[in-house]
Amino acid sequence: MIKQMERTSQAVTIILCACMIVKAFEMEITPANRIVAQIGETVMLTCNTTGCASPSFSWRIQTDNPLGGTVSNHGTYSTLTMSPVSVENAHDYLCTVFCGTEKKEKSVKVELYSFPSDPVIEISTSLVAGEQATVICKIPDVYPSDHLEVLLKKEEHILLEKNFFEDDSTNTETKTVTYSFNPTTEDIGKDITCVAKLLIANMEFEPKERVTSQKLNANFGPKNTIITASPSNSAMEGDFLKLTCVTESNPPPQIVWRRQVADKSVQYLVENSVLSIPHAHFTDSGLYICEVINLVTNKTEKATVDIVIQAPPKNTTLSVFPSNAVKQGESVAFSCTSTGVPAVQITLRKKIGDVITTLETQGGKYTIGRVQLKDAGTYECVSINELGEESQHIVLDVKVPPQNITVLVHPSENVKEGENVTITCSTYSNPPSQMVLKKVHPEREIILSSVNGTFTLYNVTKNDTGRYLLDVFNEVGNNIKVIEIAVVGRLEKTDQMMAVIIAFSCVTAIAIPVVAILIYVSRKAKINGSYSLVKALRLKV
């Protein structure tokens, strides 16, 4: 029995050797038996022969379906190319070769999958803390989906596990898992991970697991918006005022500053969380509004702060209408304005010499209906608040035309040649009056002028007899007095003793003008022998 088997084995060996020698007709198919390919790739099957000069090839699918590929014959081998390979190509491909009448055939199984890319995580755009959010994980173009398992995790905590084992998978499909939850502010920054596994036994491909992570970014706010003021909301003038708008918001909000001023209009200021006023001025006082807008949550919140910039009295102005020099009897109005925070108190005082009188004002205004000389003096406006005081003064001048004129002729209106006659004139005026004495003369008018009183004329003759008009005037008015002088006989004395001196002394109540020059001039005029009072006047005082 054993011997028989040995013999048979020897015979087979001989036959094999014979075949080798004649190069027996053989065929092979690559890849052999089985190929695992991803849908969309290019798959090429090769049917190769040896030991046949001109083999003829044919490819087919056992089910007699279309090949779904391109056959290309190259003498001793033939290829079947499927580009791209699709789900219809999942078959056993049979290659049949004839070498003459000799036929050989082999098959290869094409197995397909599709798992081309990582999962895609989509988080509902309006992810807001406290509001329901949805996380979607998409696994694109999976085949066969009935082997797909998906895991959704927040950090290491599993949110959701899902498989698609019940799927009736016929082609590539995009699979989606959805998870809804209420995010909290603590969730910000945590990873959401989607793990997709396509586990098919006996099918070799990589990767079989794909993972995608995304950070959770919960949007919230704005909330708890407040304004902080530095150094404080009642800062002093000149301080560096810094207003900061503090809010809780994700993403960071858009901030708009406004200021509401007294007339209710609104000013747009910087778009920043900090509003800086390097040198605060009391006009910077007002209601400041910080408006924060979260562009994702579409929520708005406002905070306000009332800022008062404190300042001592400033810009104190005392004005007088129509002017600070008025004519007696006119009306005069004083007005005092001043600013400061806290509000200032305004006082108007009148100072005449050492006498100070506080006047009753109405909102800083004070009016004198008919002004008198006694109203002339210094007026002071004082503005006071807790932080200080400021004052302004003005001098009121009341102009009075000459009045209450008294003329005294000494020794009398009837004088002798050589006698000294003094005319004393007193008046009350402001500014001081000037005086002109005119002698009424039929041919020419002789004019003499005098201020402060004394006009001396030496050696008057009878020609000085006559009517004199004493004109007392200042810029606001005049007053005329008539004096009759009669030079009658001659004084029985020495020449010098007989000199007649007419001295005018007119003293005004307010002013003390100078007349010395006139006296001198007149004397000079007389010494020159020409009774030229006109000339004396021309020299003017």
Ligand X SMILES: *[C@@H]1O[C@H](CO)[C@@H](O)[C@H](O)[C@H]1NC(C)=O
Question: Quick check: 536 and 492 in contact, CB under 8 A?
Answer: no
Extract the runs of DSSP E, i.e. beta strands, from 169-237: 173-181, 191-198, 209-215, 220-230
SS3 annotation, 416-428: EECCCEEEEEEEE
Closest CB 3 distance from ligand X, rounded Å: 38
Q: Which is nearer to ligand X, 151 or 425 (CB)?
A: 425
Number of residues that bind ligand X (CB under 6 A): 29
Closest CB 446 distance from ligand X, rounded Å: 11
Q: Which is nearer to ligand X, 48 or 172 (CB)?
A: 48
SS3 annotation, 202-217: CCCCCCCEEEEEEECC
Question: Quick check: 29 and 107 in contact, CB under 8 A?
Answer: yes
Closest CB 395 distance from ligand X, rounded Å: 21
Q: Which is nearer to ligand X, 86 or 300 (CB)?
A: 300
Per CB under 6 A, 265 contacts ligand X = no
Which region, judged by CB under 6 A, interacts with ligand X, from 12-20, 136-144, 209-217, 457-465? 457-465
- Report the C-alpha gap between 22 and 19 in whole angstroms: 5
- Report the C-alpha gap between 523 and 525 in whole angstroms: 5
Q: Which is nearer to ligand X, 208 or 327 (CB)?
A: 327
Closest CB 11 distance from ligand X, rounded Å: 27
Applying CB under 6 A, which of residues 46, 217, 254, 414 lies at the interface with ligand X? 46
Cis amide leading into 231 (omega within 30): yes
- Report the C-alpha gap between 381 and 494 in whole angstroms: 66
- Report the C-alpha gap between 238 and 224 in whole angstroms: 31
- Report the C-alpha gap between 397 and 351 in whole angstroms: 13
Q: Which is nearer to ligand X, 152 or 515 (CB)?
A: 515
Which region, judged by CB under 6 A, interacts with ligand X, from 3-11, 37-45, 271-279, 459-467? 459-467
Name which of residues 204 to 233 contact ligand X (CB under 6 A).
none
- Report the C-alpha gap between 26 and 73 in whole angstroms: 17
Applying CB under 6 A, which of residues 55, 119, 144, 453 lies at the interface with ligand X? 453
Q: What is the dihedral of CA 219, 225, 230, 234, to 10 degrees?
A: 170
Applying CB under 6 A, which of residues 93, 458, 468, 504 lies at the interface with ligand X? 458
Applying CB under 6 A, which of residues 171, 404, 406, 412 lies at the interface with ligand X? 404
- Report the C-alpha gap between 460 and 409 in whole angstroms: 15
Applying CB under 6 A, which of residues 48, 78, 285, 328 lies at the interface with ligand X? 48
What mask of x and - would describe binding to ligand X in positions 323 to 362, judged by CB under 6 A?
A: --------------x-------------------------
HSE-up (13 A, CA, CB side) for residue 417: 12
Q: Which is nearer to ligand X, 207 or 329 (CB)?
A: 329
Q: Which is nearer to ligand X, 280 or 515 (CB)?
A: 515
Closest CA to 346 of 354, 357, 335, 355: 335
Helix (H, G, I), strand (E, B) or coil at 21: helix
Closest CA to 447 of 531, 331, 340, 339: 531
Q: Which is nearer to ligand X, 380 or 419 (CB)?
A: 419
Applying CB under 6 A, which of residues 53, 199, 514, 534 lies at the interface with ligand X? 514
User: Which one-letter amino acid corresponds to residue 140?
Assistant: P
Q: Which is nearer to ligand X, 169 or 434 (CB)?
A: 434
Name which of residues 462 to 501 contact ligand X (CB under 6 A).
463, 495-497, 499, 501
Scanning 212-288, the segments in alpha helix (DSSP H) are none
Name which of residues 278 to 307 contact ligand X (CB under 6 A).
298
Applying CB under 6 A, which of residues 7, 516, 528, 540 lies at the interface with ligand X? 516
Whole-angstrom CA distances from 285 to 271, 280, 309 are 19, 9, 5
Q: Which is nearer to ligand X, 73 or 163 (CB)?
A: 73
Q: What length does the chain have? A: 541
- Report the C-alpha gap between 146 and 137 in whole angstroms: 17
Q: Which is nearer to ligand X, 15 or 512 (CB)?
A: 512
Closest CB 28 distance from ligand X, rounded Å: 7
Question: Quick check: 525 and 532 in contact, CB under 8 A?
Answer: yes
Q: Which is nearer to ligand X, 255 or 499 (CB)?
A: 499
Burial of 260 (0-12, 13-18, 19+ CB in 10 A): middle
Which region, judged by CB under 6 A, interacts with ligand X, from 98-106, 168-176, 328-336, 454-462? 454-462
Q: Which is nearer to ligand X, 98 or 205 (CB)?
A: 98
Applying CB under 6 A, which of residues 27, 139, 507, 537 lies at the interface with ligand X? 507
- Those residues whose C-beta lies under 8 Å from the C-beta of residue 13, and which sit 6 or more positions away, are none
Closest CB 49 distance from ligand X, rounded Å: 7
Name which of residues 63 to 102 contact ligand X (CB under 6 A).
77
Closest CB 529 distance from ligand X, rounded Å: 9
What mask of x and - would describe binding to ligand X in positions 405 to 424, judged by CB under 6 A?
A: --------------xx----
Question: Quick check: 304 and 241 in contact, CB under 8 A?
Answer: no
Question: Quick check: 379 and 365 in contact, CB under 8 A?
Answer: no
User: Which one-letter amino acid corresponds to residue 85?
Assistant: V
Closest CB 462 distance from ligand X, rounded Å: 7
Q: Which residues bind ligand X (CB under 6 A)?
A: 46, 48, 50, 77, 298, 315, 317, 337, 404, 419-420, 428, 452-453, 458-459, 461, 463, 495-497, 499, 501, 507, 509, 512, 514-516
